[in-house]
Each structure stands twice: as structure tokens, then as C-alpha cells.
Chains A and B, each alone.
Chain A
């Protein structure tokens, strides 16, 4: 069975700080990896995804993530966060099964 671990449940940063949210997965085969964001009161939206090719993927709103196969990791990064990035961030993996397996989420708060 596949699983996803997000290291930080709550992160508080100031505007313009750099962000890195950790995500590790467990699955022995080929995986597809995703980061979703859930803004307050809104539904899940896809930030970025990795299927194959360049392990550094760029998503919307200046986010990027790097797939490191040897570390089973897919960390999310943004060089300079904004107040509007306050949200819940979910890492997800799709391996053998077709449904997504999500991490518990990281609640990010950006202080102005």
C-alpha cells in the first residue's frame, strides 16, 4: 500500500520568506505525484504534478517541487511567499491504485 508523510503540520512564515514543505511517500513502483492547495473556504486545487521527465516541476503561483526518487521525496518550494499563500497544502501520490493517497496536510500561515 502507498502512503504519504508530510513533515510539518503547521508552518508560520513572514511575507517574502522562502518556503519548503516536506513530502515523503512510500511505494515501490512508478508513482505520479501531486501538490494540491486548499485556500480558506475553497475546494482543492492542483498546484503542480509530476508524471515523468524533468524531476523539477513548476506549478502555478510561483511554486515548484523536486522529485528525488532516491529519497522518495517531493518537496514543495517557493522562493518568496505572499500573504495570499495562506492555505492548507496537501501532497498526494498515485501508485498502483487509481485513487489519490493524500498526506495529512500542512497548514501554512503567512504573516504580513
Chain B
């Protein structure tokens, strides 16, 4: 299994531009999570999906952030417009089910730099 796949691995953009991060979960996994890692705040959960349905988006910082999961094998995290304070590493993770004793498997992350 290829594991969780994220693209791009690195993204450099200018303030005000739209950024789209992509994630392909492990085949057969029903839950998908988006996390953000910064020096100041560490790793934070942004949003997660069960069976393609968003369950908890309370971690999404503001309306500029949106996430979708149109099917079981693909999810996007979009920032529009982007700001320098959005610079971080964004991780996607998947698991069999969000609840219960299921391990979350993490992707390699997307390092976003907003100038």
C-alpha cells in the first residue's frame, strides 16, 4: 500500500492567492483528517470526515479555509485568500473508522509558505 498521499509536497505562494492541498487516503479507510503543524501551536486538528461527510470542522481557523471530500479516495483543503500566517505544514491522515481503536496513518505533509 502506498500509504496516504499528499500533493504538492511543497507550495510557495503569494498572499491573496488561492491554495489547494490534496490528499488521497489509504484505500478502504473511511475516515480522513486534516491537521496543521506550526511552531507556535504544534499539531492541530482542522477537520475530519467519516464516509466522505464532514463531522467536525471546529478546528478550521476561519472562513478562508474550506475542505471537501467528493469521494472516498480524494479530499481537498482550500485556502482562499491565503495569508502569511497560514504558512505551516498541513498533514492529512486516514483511518478505518474515526471512532474505536483505529490508528490514524499520516501522509508526508504539504509545507505551505505564503509570502
Contact with A along B41-78 (1 / 0, CB 8 A): 01111001010000110010000000000000000000
**A49 and B56 contacting across the interface, CB-CB below 8 Å:** no
Q: In the complex, how many angstroms separate the beta carbon of A27 from the nearest chain B beta carbon?
A: 15
Interface locus among A11-19, A69-77, A95-103:
A95-103
Residues in A with CB closer than 8 Å to B108 are 42-43
**B103 and A46 contacting across the interface, CB-CB below 8 Å:** yes
Residues in B with CB closer than 8 Å to A102 are 35, 42-44
Residues in A with CB closer than 8 Å to B45 are 97, 99-101
Tell yes or no: A56 within 8 A of B by CB.
no
Can you give 22 A-B contacts (C-beta < 8 A)?
Answer: A42-B108, A43-B91, A43-B107, A44-B91, A44-B93, A90-B43, A92-B43, A97-B45, A98-B48, A98-B55, A98-B98, A99-B45, A99-B48, A99-B98, A100-B35, A100-B45, A100-B104, A101-B45, A102-B42, A102-B44, A103-B42, A104-B42
Beyond A46-B103, A49-B103, A100-B104, list 6 extra A-B contacts (CB 8 Å).
A46-B104, A49-B101, A98-B48, A99-B48, A102-B43, A102-B44
**The 10 A-B residue pairs with the shortest CB-CB distance in the complex, in nearest-first order:** A98-B98, A99-B45, A102-B43, A44-B106, A104-B42, A43-B108, A51-B101, A43-B106, A99-B48, A98-B99
Residue positions of A touching B, CB distance < 8 A: 32, 34, 36, 42-46, 49, 51, 90, 92, 97-105
